[in-house]
Every structure is written in C-alpha cells, then in structure tokens.
Structure 1
Amino acid sequence: MSGSEFAQLHRAGEPLVLPNAWDVASARALVAAGFAAVGTTSLGVAAGHGVPDGEGAAVDATLRLVGRLSSLPVFVSADIERGSVAAASAVAEAGGAGVNVEDGLAEPSAHARLIRDIKRAVPGLFVNARTDTHWLRAGDVREAVRRARMYQDAGADGVFVPGMSDRSEISEIVEALAVPLNVLALPSGPSVRELAALGVARVSMGSLLFRASLAAVVETATAVRDGGAVRADLPSYQDVNG
C-alpha cells in the first residue's frame, strides 16, 4: 500500500485514528477490530526487546516488525525515532507506507534537511515530521509553529506535535499549516470528535495501548493470586493461535 494512498486517509475534520502496535499479535488484533492503518510504537518495541526508547536501539527491531506486518491488509507506518535515510528506505522496501521522524528538539534546520533527504530518496513514503516542543518541555506554540512550517517546507507530508492538548494551540497550528496535523490521543485531552472539530487530520495512540496492556497483565496476575475476578471476555487460545 502506497504512501499516496495512505495520505488520503489524513482528512482535516475526519481524522485518521491510528493505533500503535508493538508486535504481530497486537497488530493483527487491531486489524481485526477494523482499523485501516497501524503504526508502530517505539516504546513498545524497545521495551519488548529490553532496550531504552529514544536512543535508536530498537530501530532494527522496528524494521523487522514492519516486514512482518507488510502482509496485513492495512497501511503500516513506522516510528523510526530520530530517523535516517537508510531506515526510511528500509521501511519503504519492507512495504511500509509511512514513517514518523522526531526532532528531539535538535536544531530544526538539521531535521528539515533529514526530511528533504528522505523525500528525495523515497518520494512515495509518507513522512510524518514530529516536533517535541510539547513533549520534551513545556509547550511553546510559537516554536511549534516555526518548526512545523520548516518541516512542511522541507517536504513533510504531515506534522506531529505530541503532548499538545490546548484547543486554541491546536487550532493555531492547524491554521498555520497546509499539511495534515497529527496529535497524540491523551486520556485527559480532547476527544477524537473534539479534535476533528479543530481540524486535526490524524490522532495517534503512541505508547498508550502498550502501557495499557502492561497494566492489564499485572491486574490479571494479581487477581488470580488474590482470588479476584478475571474478565471473562478475553480472546480465546484458539482465536489468538489462529
């Protein structure tokens, strides 16, 4: 599935809701639930392999995962952390439709240069350029707009500002951009319906599902140990094995 087809799912006012998987089983479960696209979560992949997130230690594992997910009947977008031309090219070769590349608040001109280089190498890949103005420090909407415009001008197909929840700031960035805005779903933030009304075109779940699964594992294990109730509507062994 191509990046240009994937781009068509990014519609302001009717956002793509993108769940993030960390392995084949979680991705297949999301496909079965009817999602049209699946992203990878760098935290989930990294933690699943016993390495830290955000340091590039899980990129190879992510690339292997993309290759295993390429047979699924959905678009696959890969979180390649800080990113590189080689990693983005590998995602495209493995059948991925898009990548997420984060700036980590590094010099924005360097991130813009990386975006240009990726688009030059794999023009058909959807490049979602992430800025961490609201993730790694207190949000500065003016800096977010400045970086977002630089990445847009460098050829990014979309811009991602995780951690942003203020409705007026979201509207300001939507108005400042000609490309789709992606925000992170936050339990305490606006709902998908509210984000749609603000003009958001993509809502990612990030590490939320992976962290929720860890909580469910501990909750179930302690319920068994302590004689508590275990939910009865779990997928069966046969369902998962199938």
Structure 2
Amino acid sequence: MNARCAAFHALHRAARPLLLPNAWDHASAAAFAARGYPAVGTTSLGVAAAAGVPDAAAATRAENLRLARALRPLPVLVTVDVEAGYADDPAVVAGLAAELAALGVVGVNVEDGRADGTLDPPELAAAKVAAIKAAAPDLFVNARTDPWWLGTPDPLPEALRRARAYLAAGADGIFVPGAPDAATVAALVAGIDAPLNVLHRPGGPTLDQLRALGVARVSTGSLLFRAALGAALDALDAVRSGAAPRAEPPSYAEVQGLSGASRP
C-alpha cells in the first residue's frame, strides 16, 4: 500500500475519531489543511451547488475529477464523495475510482441512496464496492448506507445488513448518516466490524462522546459549505444595514496565501 493511503487508513485506528472537514473547492480545502487537519473530504452538496447542479443527481463526475486535480498539490490527504458512483455499472464506477487514485486521492465515499429516494439493491452497491477495490485496492472505500435519511422502515437492521454486505465486498469503513442518538450509534458500532463514520449533528454527541462510543470518523458533510454561505449572507446584510459584521473574515493576503499551499 502506498504511504499516503496507509496514513489515511491509520487515521481510522487512532485513539480519537478522525474529524473530517468537507471541502467544496481549493480554497476551502487549503484553509482546512492550513488549520492542521491531516485529511479533508469533499461535500457532494457543496461541489454540486458551486457548479449550479443538484446534489445526488449524478451530475458532478467531471467537477470531482477537476477538484481532485486541483487539490493534488495540497499538504493534506483527500477523500472524495462520488455519490453512488455516477453509474449503475460497477465497471464504470471502478474506472472513476482508478482515475481518482491516479490523482493521489486516498479514499472515496460511495453511497447506496438514489436520487429518487430509494436504496440501491444491496447486491448492486456491494458490486460497486468490490469493483472499486479491484481497480484501486489502496483506496479507503467508505461505503455509505442511507436507511435513516431515506426513511426506510426499521432502519437499524437494514443498515447493519447492508454494512455487512459491503464489508464482505471489501469496504474498509461504513458511513451511516442520520443515526438519531447515542444508543443507535452504539448499536451500529457493536454490529459493524469496521471503522464507523457518522455525520456531525449540531447539538448531537461531541467528539469525546463519539470516541467513547467507538466511532472512528466524524464528517462535517455539507455543514461548512452551508455555514460559509450563511456567513456571506450575514456579511452582505451587514453592509446593507450598516451594522458591524459578526466575525472578521480572513484577510485578502491570507486567502491569497492559500493558493500557494503545496504538498511537501
């Protein structure tokens, strides 16, 4: 396994959960790297919204490849959210994973949720995982299952069933967004023999609480993109009203400096 992929795998076995900020462009990823975060992911909503297309609609394959290419020089490990792989053909999904790996990406998220609000058959989602691992065996494949977000009846057994199928296909970790409480997260940890990734929920368990539950990775998802958009609107409203902005933004020089960040 190459050293960068090995380092990313190792972050899922640390004493404290990997806090993964999700970026939507070069500036956001460079800013997170400058704050000392060892790895960043991409946010499918942020990438899609920045491109003017809907999320989860298989519309951002080209944007993610361009972004991965732009992030390649940064001193940070990058994992990419590829939605459901932008195709139903596992071979096509595997081809994308191989392209990303060639660009230095160390992991991918691949999900079983569909744009129509249904879940992929578990056999199809597992076949995508297996194809990715065959094409790019060093990548950390974080297989996401969406029973809670898509309103599946009795979601816990369904999430566990799918997680086990994806792990049998070669997934390295399981991502279950939407788990509603600490007891459910604990049940997922107990039932999944692999690093568990959850989505940060404002007001939900803290990193220390999630560590105590056995969670390996905590993603911010679209939160940071939405927060940035909200801060821009607040600043605009402050200009219009003559009020002081709530927070001092990064300076021109600081943002300009992000473009010079490069991998050692």
TM-score by length of 1: 0.96
User: Which of the numbers 151, 167, 177 marks the counterpart of 1:137?
Assistant: 151
For the aligned residue pairs, the C-alpha RMSD in angstroms reads 1.3
Equivalent pair of 1:159/1:181 in contact (CA under 8 Å): yes
In the TM superposition, what is the alpha-carbon distance from 1:12 to its structure 2 partner?
Answer: 6.5
| 1:157-196 equivalent positions in 2, closer than 5 A | 157-196=172-211
Q: Which runs of 4+ in 1 moved over 6 A?
A: none
User: Which of the numbers 48, 51, 61 marks the counterpart of 2:50?
Assistant: 48
**Cα distance between partner residues in 2 of 1:144 and 1:171:** 13
**Cα distance between partner residues in 2 of 1:232 and 1:157:** 40
Correspondence 1:99 to 2:108: yes
In the TM superposition, what is the alpha-carbon distance from 1:165 to its structure 2 partner?
Answer: 3.1
In the TM superposition, what is the alpha-carbon distance from 1:2 to its structure 2 partner?
Answer: 2.9
Equivalent pair of 1:13/1:200 in contact (CA under 8 Å): no
Seq. identity, %? 53
Structure-2 residue corresponding to 1:33? 35
In the TM superposition, what is the alpha-carbon distance from 1:102 to its structure 2 partner?
Answer: 0.4
**Cα distance between partner residues in 2 of 1:63 and 1:235:** 28
Equivalent pair of 1:2/1:125 in contact (CA under 8 Å): no
Structure-1 residue corresponding to 2:261? none
Structure-1 residue corresponding to 2:136? 122
**Cα distance between partner residues in 2 of 1:54 and 1:2:** 28
Cα deviation, 1:151-174, whole Å, max 9, x if unaligned, reads: 111100000001113111111111
Equivalent pair of 1:16/1:203 in contact (CA under 8 Å): yes
In the TM superposition, what is the alpha-carbon distance from 1:77 to its structure 2 partner?
Answer: 0.2
Equivalent pair of 1:102/1:129 in contact (CA under 8 Å): yes
**Cα distance between partner residues in 1 of 2:182 and 2:164:** 19
Per mean C-alpha deviation after superposition, the further-off stretch among 167-176 and 32-41 is 167-176
Structure 2 residues without counterparts, runs of 5 or longer: 86-92, 114-118, 258-264
In the TM superposition, what is the alpha-carbon distance from 1:176 to its structure 2 partner?
Answer: 1.4
In the alignment of these two chains, the number of paired residues is: 242
Equivalent pair of 2:95/2:135 in contact (CA under 8 Å): no
In the TM superposition, what is the alpha-carbon distance from 1:13 to its structure 2 partner?
Answer: 5.0
In the TM superposition, what is the alpha-carbon distance from 1:74 to its structure 2 partner?
Answer: 1.2
User: Which of the numbers 197, 218, 225 marks the counterpart of 2:240?
Assistant: 225
1:76 is aligned with what amino acid? V
TM-score by length of 2: 0.88
